[in-house]
Amino acid sequence: MEARSSGFSAMAPPVFDGENYQTWAVRMRAYLEGCDFWEAVEQDYEVAPLPDNPTINQIKYYKERTTRKAKAKSCLYAVISPAIFSRIMACESAKDIWDFLKAEYQGDEKIRSMKGLNLTAEFKRLQMKESETIKEYSDKLIRIENQARVLSTDLSEKRLVQKILVSLPERFEATIASLENTKDLSQIKLEKLQSALQAQEQRRLMRLEGSTEGALQAKEQQNIGGKGKKWKGKKVDGSSGSEAATGENSADNSKNNWRRYYSCKHCGKQNHPHFRSWKRPNVR
């Protein structure tokens, strides 16, 4: 099957920059298999020369096998970063390139074992933060589990479930208690646990949003009500706003309803400001 007919030629192959070789190798092998190039990388088969007076089928078969080897080598060249390319450019075939990368970056069994131990230690140290969601925390654990699996280190689904249960923040205690009463937590699947925790997380978020919205509405209503009330400051005689309101309701104020001012400096009366006094010097 040619790459053009499979549609893989339109997909970008994974680029290797020297980090996470195991993950890259798994993805790259799947890409090469989809393009029908993996046989040339795995076997490095020999292409027999054409006989004298070859048939059309023989010519077609020869060209196909030769082209597949060239395309496999070209594909590996394309996915290697410039810093690594100078080290593999002398390799004669796609298999030589693949074997070189495997020996250089995968390491021997001892190195693989050390990498597996490091991943296991990281898995044990990881704790869920208060600001994280269940999905974000689960994705971290699954990433470590996938990397460990490539290194033949066992981090089973059961261990993932146990890790989530013992490292959750306090806000999930009610959900865990409910699950303990209804299900066998030693047999629960990771997907079901994630779904239950995410549902509780969504309910909590909805409650928080509802309470926040209610508080904002109450504050807005309070602000609207406050705009309708006039602020009554301190009167001239030193009384406060509440005292002034009481004074306005008294019999004397309701009887004459005169505005009070400071005593006029020209006539001494309090029923007008000094600049309206008829006894001021500049009056006409």
User: Bigger pLDDT: 56 or 264?
Assistant: 56
Place of tokens 């205690």: 173
pLDDT over threshold 60, residue 260: no
- The tens digit of pLDDT for each residue in 18-51 reads 888 888 998 999 999 999 999 999 988 888 888 8
CB 46 within 8 A of CB 74: no
Query: Model's pTM, two decimal places?
Result: 0.51
What is the pLDDT averaged over residues 102-130?
Answer: 84
pLDDT value for 30: 92
Out of 70-74, 148-152, 263-267, the most confident range is 70-74
CA–CA separation, 165 and 241 (whole Å): 61
Other beta carbons within 10 Å of 123: 19
State how far the Cα of 219 lies from the Cα of 198, in Å rounded to an integer: 31
Neighbouring CB atoms inside 10 A of 33's CB total: 14
Give the span between the Cα atoms of 197 and 203, in whole angstroms: 10
Sign, CA dihedral 162-168-173-178, equals: negative
User: What's residue 13's pLDDT?
Assistant: 84
What confidence tier does 229 reach under pLDDT thresholds 50, 70, 90?
Answer: low
Q: What are the pLDDT digits (tens) for 163-211?
A: 988 888 888 888 888 888 887 777 888 888 888 888 888 887 787 776 6
pLDDT over threshold 90, residue 4 = no
Residue 138 has pLDDT above 60, yes or no: yes
68 pLDDT band, cuts 50/70/90, is very high
Q: Of residues 213 and 115, which shows the higher confidence score?
A: 115
Q: Which residues, other chains included, contact 65 with Cβ-Cβ below 8 Å and sequence gap of 6+? A: 45, 47
Calculate Rg over the CA atoms of the chain: 41
For the chain, what percent of residues have pLDDT higher than 90?
Answer: 19
∠ CA(189), CA(193), CA(194), 5° rounding? Answer: 115
Task: List own/partner pairs for 243-246 with CB under 8 A and 24 or more apart.
Answer: none
Q: Which two tokens stand for residue 272?
A: 């007008």
Question: Residue 44: what pLDDT?
Answer: 83
Q: Flag whether pLDDT at 245 surpasses 60.
A: no
Which tokens belong to 168? Answer: 């959750």
